[in-house]
Structure 1
Amino acid sequence: MKVSWEKTETNRGVLTVEVDEKQLAGALDRAFKKVAKDVNLPGFRKGKIPRPIFEKRFGVESLYQDALDILLPEVYPQAIEEAAIEPVDQPEIDIDQLEKGKPFTFKATVTVKPEVKLGEYKGLEIEEKDFSVSQEDVEADLKQMQERQGQLIAIEEGAIEEGDRAILDFEGFVDGEAFEGGKGEQFTLEIGSGQFIPGFEEQLIGMAPGEEKDITVTFPEEYQEENLKGKEAVFKVKIHEIKRTELPELDDEFAQDVSEFDTLAELKSDVENKLEEQKKNEEESYKRNQLVEKAAENAEVEIPDVMIEREIDHMVSHFEQQLSMQGVNLEQYSQFTGQTKEDIRAQFKEDAGKKTRNDLVLEAIANTEKVEVSTEDIEEELKKLAEQMNRELDEIKRLVDLQGGRAQIEGDLKIRKTVDLLVSNSKNAA
């Protein structure tokens, strides 16, 4: 096989491949065996037609597509390995010559992983940031404990406040006509959640059980439903019930209910200790992230759009998983917020570009510094994983090997070691 690579743009080029006639003949043989099984021709049993008669009847050209389907998946990976390139997208294949008895030649237009020109990545300085634990932090943590122990109580008298849950009926009208999806009965809405169109929830504040009201809002210009974009809508609303969270008192009894401690003072001390540990971890993450960001800023790299789009795919998929844990799918989220899928993808674009750039730069640093991951490193990581999951080490190894996860572990460890290198060589290193 003959292979040549010619770069035509920064991250694109043409891979020209020539496969000898013997390899093509082998693919045609395999294609014939596949096709002949289903051929019915008078005078021959099904699947038993001789090759010469088949080609005379149907033409050898009828085998070309199946031969391509067999040959390309085999020769393309070999060609990119020989050309020493790393594609990041599916190639655009153009067949130059496909004829029995002659070499098979094709061109593949390929987008490849970009080259990174590293700048300064050693001796970087981290901007100082306060990670001390304040009394306000402790009080805020205790407040969250209170809220988790709180009980929803129906309010007999009074009006809706921020944070309340209102049970209501609503129906929306545009130009006097009801619109699809604009009606709900006995709907529970947390005030301030941003679940409804901007301006809707704010106008519920002050309403009392049994009260009815017309609420006027304007759909956002970027709303997903074309016929509602920028339109003024009137919602007829009736409040059935108001529920408010009643918080327990912060005292020794509360401490005994939520922890193993006897007094509130002991609970506060424990909260402070845990927050200090948390802040310590946050400080470590901050330092590492800062150094990666600075190293990436100092590098030069032109990232193909397809790599950013692929990272957006991963981020949207992760976002969908988070939504599903809350009992909401992406379509429902779009309806609630008025955002299209394109809007959601656009929100991830900046972060996706930054992450892709950071990953490419860290990979380049790892290659430059010859960062290696040993078998012992992987073994230690598997032990930690087994401890975290409370599973036997052998079981974790089987699961990882079954899913082909060792390469992922090795890659993650290499990145971690590379960031360790940035930290140890920074100006802030102890």
Structure 2
Amino acid sequence: MNIVVEKQPKCVATLRVEIPAEQVSGERERIVAGYTSQAKIPGFRPGKAPRKVIEKRYEKEISEELRDRLMQEGCDEALRKESLKVLDFGVPESTEFTADGGFAFSTRILLAPEITLPEYKGITVKVPAAAVPDEELNKQLEGLRERFADFNTLEGRAIQTGDYAVIDYTSTTEGKPLEEFLGKSAGYLGGREGFWVRVNDESFLPGFAAQLVGLNTGDSKDVTVTIPDDFPLSDLRGKEVTFAVTVKEIKEAVLPELDDELAAKLAPGKTLEEIKTIIRDNMERERRRQIDDMKVNQIVEHFNSLVEFDVPEELLAHETQNQADAMVRQGIQSGLSEDEVAAQQTEIFENAGKQAKSNIKTNFILQEIARAENISVNDQELVNHLVAIANSRKQAPKKFIRDLQRSGRLPGIRNSMLVGKAIDYVVEQAKVEETDEPLVAEA
């Protein structure tokens, strides 16, 4: 068998295979023998029909099976002989039975990138301590008090920091109503009536609430803010927006005491100390999860900064679309309209492309580490994983697995499990340093 591989940039290669006549003939003999032993031909007992009858009756089926087997043998031999890491053999561009009885085909194949692994054991990662700081617990407890707050309407004094202002407002930018300027809905920025604003730095838009301090009920004021650069609506970033505000009411929050009575409202029969223990345990679980994510993210950044290689364009395009779709879904779930999402399409695809390339690079690096460390996912592990998923979705495991198999998704799931095992291995080998830095909440 003659095999020629011509490698090209971006993990693409052309494979040309020529199979000699004697190998073609031998394979055809085996196929015809199989049909002869199993075919049911009227007038002949099974296995007794003449060869010529069988060949004539099943000429098309024999030729198709022969072609498929020869191409499979050629691809298998190319893998062995050339030590290729093939992601996709593609669809053969040409196949032909030659005049001397041989067979030849060529196909465009997609190769895994060639990677030189950096040192992946003992990577230093820096994370906060796992213990929940008292100030974070106290902040959670304060949030519980605010949930059960009563609100008194204040008369005879101006707005102070910490108050709640109930306002009506409309908005303009560059002298035009905001929605006219944008040519589409501005959402909550366009205007509201009876809108509650907590007068502190974290409310609404940066710099907005501070300009309400000193106003009295019934007062009106133009409040101008500059939209931050990370604002979801890209058309407004860096723009000045003026809000015509009228104060309708000023309210003061009256917080309940942090005691067993409040605890009973949260969970009947529980004391305050029991509630604190439950909250701390939940916070510690979430904190450990976030710290684990930090370790993984730092390791991924470490790999991507040290290792550079071509990424298959087909995979990059597919993953970019997946990431863009996920970003759109996230934007809609966070309250963006379809028009707002459409306005950010260019930016979404740019960010999706960067994330896609990072994901693909990381995936290949971790697969290479798994190969180096003989990490694998056996059939029983795969089945147990799929059964757990099926049970969580209240589906019959056998049907669930069968459907995945028919749709060709099992290899991808196995690979995801393999990558997960590899990252777990690298994290276990990492050198962890605790820092005094606070744990930054996920966006």
Give the shorter-chain TM-score range.
0.5 to 0.7
Gaps of 5+ in 2: 20-67, 96-102, 433-443
1:186 aligns with 2:193: yes
Structure 2 residue corresponding to 1:366, chosen from 363, 370, 383: 370
The amino acid that maps onto 1:7 is: K
Provide the aligned length of Structure 1 versus Structure 2. 358
The amino acid that maps onto 1:184 is: G
Give the distance between the partners of 2:320 and 2:163, measured in 1 at CA. Answer: 33
SS in 2 for 1:238: strand
Give the distance between the partners of 1:306 and 1:246, measured in 2 at CA. Answer: 59
Q: Deviations 1:218-267 (Å, cap 9, x if unpaired)?
A: 57899999998876554433344567766443210111121255321222
Aligned to 1:267: 275
Gaps of 5+ in 1: 21-73, 98-102
The amino acid that maps onto 2:116 is: K
1:417 aligns with 2:421: yes
The amino acid that maps onto 2:172 is: G
The 3 A distance-change label for structure 1 pair 395 and 160 is: farther
The amino acid that maps onto 2:135 is: E
Deviates more, 1:345-354 or 1:312-321: 345-354
Aligned to 2:400: 399
Aligned to 2:129: 130
The 3 A distance-change label for structure 1 pair 212 and 283 is: closer
Give the distance between the partners of 1:130 and 1:293, measured in 2 at CA. Answer: 21
In the superposition, the TM-score normalised over structure 1's length comes to 0.62
1:318 aligns with 2:326: yes
8 A Cα contact 1:117 1:300, kept in partner: no
Give the deviation of 1:353 after TM superposition: 3.9
In the superposition, the TM-score normalised over structure 2's length comes to 0.60
The amino acid that maps onto 1:377 is: E
The 3 A distance-change label for structure 1 pair 251 and 227 is: closer
The 3 A distance-change label for structure 1 pair 296 and 227 is: closer
Aligned to 1:174: 174
Give the distance between the partners of 1:131 and 1:385, measured in 2 at CA. Answer: 29
Give the distance between the partners of 2:423 and 2:266, measured in 1 at CA. Answer: 39
The amino acid that maps onto 2:399 is: R
The amino acid that maps onto 1:136 is: E
Q: Percent sequence identity over matched residues? A: 22
The amino acid that maps onto 1:301 is: F
8 A Cα contact 1:164 1:244, kept in partner: yes
Give the distance between the partners of 1:224 and 1:286, measured in 2 at CA. Answer: 25
Q: What are the residue-to-residue correspondences of 1:164-243 with 2, within 5 Å?
A: 164=164, 166-172=166-172, 174-175=174-175, 179=181, 180=183, 181=185, 183-186=190-193, 188=195, 203-204=211-212, 206-217=214-225, 234-240=242-248
Give the distance between the partners of 2:133 and 2:228, measured in 1 at CA. Answer: 40
Give the deviation of 1:199 after TM superposition: 5.2
Give the distance between the partners of 2:229 and 2:270, measured in 1 at CA. Answer: 56
The 3 A distance-change label for structure 1 pair 150 and 412 is: farther
The 3 A distance-change label for structure 1 pair 230 and 375 is: closer
8 A Cα contact 2:127 2:295, kept in partner: no
Give the deviation of 1:85 after TM superposition: 6.3
Q: Deviations 1:334-367 (Å, cap 9, x if unpaired)?
A: 77xxxx3323444555554433322221011122
8 A Cα contact 1:120 1:295, kept in partner: no
8 A Cα contact 1:323 1:330, kept in partner: no
The 3 A distance-change label for structure 1 pair 213 and 276 is: closer
Aligned to 1:253: 261
